Amino acid sequence: MKELTILSGKGGTGKTSLAAALASVAGNAVFCDSDVDAPDLHLIFKPEIRESYIFEGSYIASINPDICTNCGLCIEQCRFGAIHEGENGLLKINPFQCEGCRLCERICPAEAITSEKSTNNEWFVSKTRFGMLVHARMGPGEENSGRLVTQVRKKAREIATGLNAGFIINDGPPGIGCPVIASLTGTDVVLLIIEPTYSGLHDAKRLFELVQSFRIPMLAIINKYDINQQVTEEVEAFLRQNHIPLLAKLHFTKKMVESMVVGETIVEFSPDDAISNGIRSAWQSIKMHCNAIQDQV
């Protein structure tokens, strides 16, 4: 079993659309949406939720007004500015500013402050037309998305092992932050989705440096390559320079949007389109590269 993590370095490259398209040709695979801050793979997969779980986030502090003496020590020591004087001079903690460090709870002389973990997050195991999907939903302003990514990936591996699946296809988050790092740890191959814009190329280079530090093999697809031929050539030069195999160059088409509107992948919506053929070819190349990695091991 191999785990493929699909990343882009930035949002808007078409990463999730292509992840869903690969799912429609993969066959024996389990799927994981690691973009827990803004998950959208379920919009195309239309999952039937089989299991749901609460994920505890960071600590959130609150003040008991019946015990608080309004000494102001917590306001002085809160480096995040989360504690304010509210109506009638009572102290209150803004939950969106509180970072859950629990310092105020420890130093309150009246022991008026308590902290509880947030339960405004959920993760799910679902059945889809492509196979099993593990996904999540974080509440607004919630923390610890990296831990939640680790949780959904762990469950996906358990399911894949039980089903004897050949692949786990992991739709990763954008950027290079904590959730991306959590989606990379222990994965076998990274598929880099790049759009031919200077911001897309810049962020792809940052992501390459991150993935390189993990010594994980990378493959690449250039999406919407024909919107800027000059930048596409620069992207290709970057890939050649860093020995990253280019699996496909996919053209821009409104059919991609039309397929999402009706909740289908581009392969389902327009199976004879050049993009669909490119995705099928890319998947064969992915399997070939993964087999080569297995032989090296």
Beta strands in the chain (DSSP E): 2-7, 29-33, 48-54, 59-63, 83-85, 91-93, 113-117, 121-127, 132-138, 167-171, 189-194, 218-223, 246-250
Apex CA 100: angle with CA 97 and CA 106, to 5°?
120
- The domains of the chain, with CATH numbers, are 2-56+121-296 (3.40.50.300), 59-117 (3.30.70.20)
pLDDT score recorded for residue 138 = 87
DSSP string, 68-137: -----HHHHH-TT--EEE-GGG-EEE-TTT-----HHHHH-TT--EEEEE---EEEEEEE-SSSEEEEEE
The C-alpha atoms of residue 145 and residue 122 are separated, in whole angstroms, by 11
SS3 219: strand
Cβ pair 158, 188 in contact under 8 A: no
pLDDT score recorded for residue 296 = 57
pLDDT score recorded for residue 144 = 73
pLDDT score recorded for residue 294 = 61
Mean pLDDT (10-residue bins), the chain, 297 residues: 94 92 94 93 95 91 94 94 88 90 96 91 96 92 84 96 96 92 94 96 96 95 96 97 97 94 95 95 93 65
pTM equals 0.87
The C-alpha atoms of residue 41 and residue 133 are separated, in whole angstroms, by 9
